[in-house]
Amino acid sequence: MTDWLDIGDADSIPPLGSRVVRTNRGDIAIFRTSDDQYFALDDRCPHRGGPLSQGIVHGRRVTCPLHNFVIELESGRAVAPDEGCAHRHELRVEGGRLRLAVAVRSRVEP
């Protein structure tokens, strides 16, 4: 079962920026593109677990700060020739607020 958690004001993330939401199932990185699209991925690069939230957002991709894997924000997949996938989370914007889909048993930590 899924619940939609309010994780804050969409404008709190600048264009081409990101933030981290801490849950009891791990950190989730929230990204905003230059055209105000929002995406949520586990904050773990599929290569060696680097913090994707600290990467550079460009277009609909983020480049990992550790070894430069490029990750598609919509799917979490690494761009070839690299391989791997960061888990993607459903996210929507309602009335200027970000809502993250989480399993009912997950919990956002303060």
**Interface residues with ligand FES (CB under 6 A)?**
45, 47-50, 64, 66-69
Which region, left, alpha or beta, applies to residue 34 given φ > 0 means left and ψ of -120 to 50 means alpha? alpha
Reduced to 3 states (helix: H, G, I; strand: E, B; else coil), residue 17 is coil
Least distance in Å: CB of 79 to ligand FES? Answer: 11
Least distance in Å: CB of 64 to ligand FES? Answer: 3
CB 35 within 8 A of CB 70: no
CB 54 within 8 A of CB 65: yes
Least distance in Å: CB of 47 to ligand FES? Answer: 3
| Residues forming beta bridges with residue 89, ordered by sequence position | 40
Closer of 63 and 106 to ligand FES (Cβ):
63
Closer of 59 and 84 to ligand FES (Cβ):
84
For residue 5, with 0-12 CB atoms within 10 Å meaning exposed, 13-18 middle and 19 or more buried, which class applies? Answer: middle
Closer of 64 and 100 to ligand FES (Cβ):
64
Least distance in Å: CB of 55 to ligand FES? Answer: 8
Closer of 40 and 46 to ligand FES (Cβ):
46
